[in-house]
Every structure is written in C-alpha cells, then in structure tokens.
Amino acid sequence: MKCPYCRHKDTRVLDSRDSDEEDSIRRRRECPKCKKRFTTYERLETSNVIVIKKDGRREQFNRDKLMGGITKACEKRPISRDMIGRAVGEIEMKIAGLGETEIPSKKIGELVMAALKKLDKVAYIRFASVYREFEDVESFHEELKKLLKK
C-alpha cells in the first residue's frame, strides 16, 4: 500500500479490525518515511459480477449505484449513513454468497426490497413504487395492504 502523503511504497499496519458495517476490514497504517498515519478498508470484491438488466443489457455490478438507490429511498428518513452502509454490505455479501458471475437485476432488486423492509417501511414503499413500476394508486394501495398485513 502506497502512502497517500509521500507515495512511499511500503507502509506498516498498526491495527486491524472489522469496520462498523462489518462488511470490510479497517486497517490503521503508518508510513515509515513521513510517519503520517492513515486508514484503509479492505472489502470483498463484487465488481466481477455482471448484472443482467431487464432489457438484456449487461453491466458491471456497481456498489455506488446500489448505495445511491438505497440512499435515495431513505432520503429525509431517520436512517443514518452507517445503517445504509450496513444494508449495502449485507446485500453485497448475499450476492457474493450466490457464487454466480452473472445475476439478474431483478434478484438485486428483491434483495434491496428485503433490506429496506427491515430498515424502514417508508423507504421500502418508495423503492417499491419505482422498482415495481406502479402504474396507478391502486397498485400502490395493494403494496401497502401487503405491508400492513405482515
């Protein structure tokens, strides 16, 4: 790992532990040349997974896109960035656990829906309204009834 300050090629790990989100390892490092300290995160790579879109297109899995979609659904809700990060980490772990190199976007959408249902019901409905492409108020109402039954 190169030092981000002086670009020295070798750094020393001072401390390693699971991150707060428990989906990565947090490492505290020190550069032997400039003596500055910095933190790195090591996370499971899911970028080699290809997402098959509804229209048949294929694209690389993108953690930032997943984070953005969940963040948008949780906008103006009492949900911290850490809570969203944990949800994204759990979804990534489930995707990795499938052991597939290609995954339909529909499967990712279902994983997001399940995570949001546990996290916040309003965020769940927001995401569902876009994901399930509600055509009218009746389809929205039906989803609310299903949610309230449980």
- pLDDT bracket for residue 21 (50, 70, 90): low
Max Cα distance, the chain (Å): 65
Q: Measured between alpha carbons, how far is 6 from 73 in angstroms, rounded to an integer?
A: 40
Q: What is the dihedral of CA 40, 46, 52, 53, to 10 degrees?
A: -20
- pTM listed for this prediction: 0.68
Chain segment 82-112, per-residue pLDDT in tens: 899 889 988 988 998 888 999 999 999 999 9
* Letter string b/e over residues 19-49, b meaning 16 or more CB atoms within 10 A of that residue's CB: bebebbeebebbbeeeeeeeeeeeeeebeeb
Q: Where are the domains of the chain?
A: 12-43, 50-149
Residue 148 has pLDDT above 90, yes or no: no
Chain segment 29-63, per-residue pLDDT in tens: 999 999 999 998 887 666 689 999 999 999 999 98
